[in-house]
Amino acid sequence: MLHVLEHPLITHKLTQMRKTTTGTKDFRQNLDEIAGLMAYEITRDLPVKPVRIETPVSACDTYELEKDIILVPILRAGLGMVNGICDLIPTVKVAHVGLYRDEETLEPHVYFEKYPKEIKDAVVIIVDPMLATGGSACAAIDMVKRQGAKNIRLVCLVGAPEGAKEVEKHHPDVDIYLAALDEKLNEKGYIVPGLGDAGDRIFGTK
Ligand code: PRP
Ligand code: URA
């Protein structure tokens, strides 16, 4: 299921990121802040378990998170969303999936993968600022599923309708969260209006 998280703060910060004139420092900072705001929304339905604790005043029946949470940034650009989410959920473990998109074919290529052993029973949150053709997201979902992950969420900043459809078609069990659903892809596979090449803008390459 596709969720577009509409919130004035998210929209404002994303607008700053979209501007051609925004430099690396502000681009990174806004991405970090949006990731934190999105984390609050995407974790709204996390499973909790009942626990009995002692407060300084009395016993208290309350709840704690039931499952491990594993964050999976798709390298490189997904790294830009890790700190913002870790600030809100400091106990997350972080897997890494290295993928790059061939500029001609737009096909994803895997160059790295590393996972915490708890992945089978954890809530797995895959992060990447851009969901364009959906090829990279589908490949990352396939990779974590091969590790036994069952409870998977995909969190991107900007998505194209083509990419959202591709993920829904191949992985109907995965919830997709976006800060904005844009208009389309252009002939080079870039999201329109989008924000350009997220990895290059985060890391100052190119
Ligand atoms: C970008 C982006 C996604 C992918 C999206 O990464 O961060 O991972 O493209 O495109 P898709 O939906 O068509 O697969 P890129 O391959 O440019 O690598 P980078 O993060 O290292 O810049
Ligand atoms: N990757 C990006 O970084 N930007 C796009 O618009 C599409 C893919």
Q: Which tens digits make up the pLDDT trace of 29-71?
A: 999 999 999 998 999 999 999 999 999 999 999 999 999 999 9
Among 186, 203, 196, 124, which residue's Cα sits nearest to residue 157?
A: 196
Residue nearest atom 2 in ligand 2 by C-alpha distance: 197
| pLDDT tens digits, 105-130 | 999 999 999 999 999 999 999 999 99
The catalytic residues are 101, 105, 197, 200
Please tell me if the CB atom of residue 136 comes closer than 6 angstroms to any atom of ligand 1: yes
Tell me, what's the pLDDT at 204? 96
How much is the mean pLDDT over the chain?
A: 97
Which of 99, 141, 191 has most ligand 1 atoms within 8 Å of CB, for mutation? Answer: 99
Which ligand places an atom closest to the C-alpha of 127? 1
CB of 76 closer than 8 Å to CB of 130: no
Ligand 1 atom having least distance to the Cα of 199: 22
Res 85: pLDDT: 96
Q: Report in angstroms the alpha-carbon separations of 132 from 44, 46, 55, 153.
A: 26, 27, 49, 17
Four-residue CA torsion sign, 177, 19, 190, 143: negative
- What is the per-residue pLDDT for 154? 98
Which of 166, 73, 68 lies closest to 120, judged by CA? 68
pLDDT band at residue 206 under the 50/70/90 scheme: confident
Cα dihedral 201→195→101→125 (10° resolution): 90
For atom 5 of ligand 2, which residue has the closest CA? Answer: 190
